[in-house]
Structure 1
Amino acid sequence: MSISNKASIQTFSNPPLILGSTSVYRRELLERLRIPFEVVSPQVDETPQTGESSLDLTLRLAQAKAAAVAKQYPNAWVIGSDQVADLCGAAIGKPGNFERALAQLQLMRGQTVTFHTALCLMKEDTFTTISVPTEVSFRKLSDEVLENYLHAEEPYDCAGSAKSEGLGISLLESIQSDDPTALIGLPLIALTGLLRDAGFAIPQKK
């Protein structure tokens, strides 16, 4: 269910829908809604701008990802999304490797981190962009425990270095959010409302 370059979109009973993301986590979340969609890489520079807050960064990137794909497919609705973890005003991104992941977890232990998960639904010049915050409190755990977790799950492509939907839940003390899927990468409660407003039938009639 993926396409790598510009191509014709299939005709569905719902309007054509594209997920502008290569994230396997977002694709798996969107599949829960059981509506047909395509996947297109948005190819957007994610470098933060000078003085940009974590919230502003994630909102800008979600919209930029949707816009990059919407330009190629003007007849489709496009979902753009981005997530940035914020600890005391400092953005925490994807670690990429064990060493950076361990440093992130050491920094966050005993702390409460805000995960900003932004969502943009766009078609041509019509779009809505929102962000769903999630407050995550990390337990005070030893380096040995953190290292064991990283070797077990290798969450190096996740902002904050922990998969709450997996073994990473053992590192957490609490999660507070209006949408439990936001922390995984795509706020489905908010997205479902936006899609219905755009004319999608969810659930679809068999």
Structure 2
Amino acid sequence: MWLGRPGNGGRRSFLTVLAIAGALLLTGGTANAQSDSGAWEVLEKESHWIATGADDPERIVYAFTDPNCPYCHDLWKATKPYYEEGLQVRHIMVGILRPSSPGKAAAILGADDPTQALNEHERSYEDGGIEPVDSPGSKVQSRLEDNQRIMQRLGARATPAVVYRDGDGKVHMVAGMPRLEALPKILRLPEQPVEDPDLQKYL
């Protein structure tokens, strides 16, 4: 993907290209799929993820996350009760939904504390969340491109796309916000009560 020239105009063009590429990516719709056997290693070693939840996790899932995605926001809320059960969610930030998505993703990835930035963004999501950056540094620019390339490589066509391993170690990917009743199976953790009224639509 074209990164643009090092100047500010090039970086703004980069954000525009990411947004356009994301819109094209989403045209395929959503689906459930099992990824290739090397997907977990790719996510672990090649993606630039931001961890929320347990520091010493019992279970790990990866989630391709757009900062403007309402279903990603719901996933963040729905998985929080599982943190105390040992869940760590590794968010792979992409910018594909709206023109401001790449800039917001870059702001989170480039923060001094990306986990704190992501959590603060989600807490203020209804008010617009984090302010997008117009000119991300080359390092953040490269990370955002890597994440989107991996998303395309694994065949994810929407956000959130949740990648997890079952009890046999097989890797699966679920596109979209899972139903709440499916979370214990995906996470392989005891079911947790859902108190947020905004999540009742996923029952």
Pair in the same fold by TM > 0.5: no
Structure number with bigger Rg:
1
Scaled to the shorter chain, the TM-score interval is: under 0.3
Q: Which has the larger helix fraction?
A: 2
TM-score, length-scaled by structure 2: 0.25
Higher RCO, Cα 8 Å, sep 6+: 2
Q: Which has the larger strand fraction?
A: 1
